[in-house]
Amino acid sequence: MTFLVPVFNEEQVIPFFYQAVADFRAAIEDRYQVSMLFINDGSTDQTQEVLKVLAGRDESVRAVSFSRNFGKEAALFAGLEHSTTDIVIPIDVDLQDPLQTVHAMLEKYEQGFDVVLGKRIDRSSDGFLKKKSAEMFYRFHNKISTPKIEENVGDFRLMTRRVVDELVKLRETQLFMKGLLSWVGFKTAIVPYK
């Protein structure tokens, strides 16, 4: 299993993320091997150096670095292209999506699901404008497009190798990952979290 982690100027946060994943890994190492694939999206701080140190100390850590900032969508796609494990889980380095949710995702995976969406059910910390703009986006998108995009679902999800292999076959130049991840199909489950 690989945690796919796009980063941009995250030198301060990466060590905390690494430790949280190391603790998580210790809890499931009897069932799953856990690795981390960081995509350095053109950081201008010490992110690259922090990643080099971690990769030098821990063979489960890999990093791909861009020459400049291409954006999160490109970083996610590059991570999918460089992933090699049977399970890939994109996750933000700031841990806004809790690692504990991955246990429930793995249960769904073990039940035969190829995609397990992490769905945030508590948006109380979001400001009024963020809530309203997200609500309008989903309403508009789902009215005019097929397939629909599940509301309050970001990039945090579990995907099997079959899903990843199909995604990387798509040669999109204007990436909209939420759309691509919904469009590709496969047996899907939802795990709600706060």
Report DSSP state, residue 146: S
Angle between helices 72-82 and 161-169 (to 10 degrees): 120
Task: Inform me whether the pLDDT recorded for 80 exceeds 90.
Answer: yes
Among residues 93, 74, 97, 95, the alpha carbon closest in space to that of 10 is found at 93
* pLDDT, tens digit, 9 for 90 and up, residues 99-139: 999 999 999 999 999 999 999 887 667 778 876 776 776 67
* pLDDT, tens digit, 9 for 90 and up, residues 33-43: 999 999 999 99
pLDDT band at 184 (very low <50, low <70, confident <90, very high): confident
Task: Inform me whether the pLDDT recorded for 46 exceeds 70.
Answer: yes
> With contact defined as beta carbons under 8 Å apart, do 79 and 90 qualify?
yes
pLDDT at residue 176 in the model: 66
Neighbours of 13 (CB within 10 A): 16
Q: Domain limits of the chain?
A: 2-193
CATH number of 2-193: 3.90.550.10
pLDDT at residue 153 in the model: 78
